[in-house]
Amino acid sequence: MAVDVRWATTGDAAALATILCEMAVHYRQPPLDHERALSAAHKWLGEESPAYPHFALAFFDGEVSGLASVAIAHPGIDLERLMFLKDLFVRGGAHNEGVGRALIGFLAGHCLSQGIGRIDLTTEDWNEGALRFYARLGAERHDQKVFLRLSGEALKKVLARS
């Protein structure tokens, strides 16, 4: 059976919430409350610009099976926009069904049709399956960047110092 991939709309809030809850467990985070995830999904899908969709959902056998969360960034040094793939997640029951490949193919098609020059992404160093998946797709590993994060108290300190 084919994998159907589309940009999420407000009608997909429940599907998005389901994926978000499963992602939290996979990424070793505390479990999310489904109602809280549903509220966030409704908000995000209702507020996002249709010019820059942010969530692609994959459906296999009629069930939500995967998610790609993306952002479009404007010109880098090469004056081309880029897509940043924040998360790619496939539910356990849909592994090895082509869901991840279908999501990446959907994103690649969007990039090519919209003049977006590349997809940048990160993955955890412990996520061997993801590293193998991206290598099979031809993703190049770049070691020239270091992933950093400002959150929580660091954000407050930056604000206080500015």
The torsion defined by the Cα of 120, 53, 12 and 14, in degrees rounded to 10, comes to 60
* Amino acid at position 9, single letter: T
Query: Can you give the residue range of the structural domain that contains 86?
Result: 3-161
User: Which region among 56-60, 75-79, 122-126 has the lowest average model confidence (pLDDT)?
Assistant: 75-79
| DSSP 3-state of 89 | strand
Q: Please compute the mean of the pLDDT values over residues 48-57 and round it to a whole number.
A: 73
In whole angstroms, give the CA distance from residue 145 to residue 162.
26
Does 77 score more than 80 pLDDT?
A: no
Q: What angle do CA 146, 150, 153 make, to 5 degrees?
A: 145
Tens digit of each residue's pLDDT (9 = 90 or more) over 12-46: 999 999 999 999 998 889 999 999 999 999 998 98
Contact 56, 99 (CB under 8 A): no
- CATH number assigned to the domain comprising residue 142: 3.40.630.30
| DSSP 3-state of 138 | coil
Query: Percentage of the chain with pLDDT > 90?
Result: 52
Domain count, the chain: 1
Tens digit of each residue's pLDDT (9 = 90 or more) over 112-152: 999 999 999 988 888 898 889 888 999 988 887 778 788 88
Contact 83, 103 (CB under 8 A): no
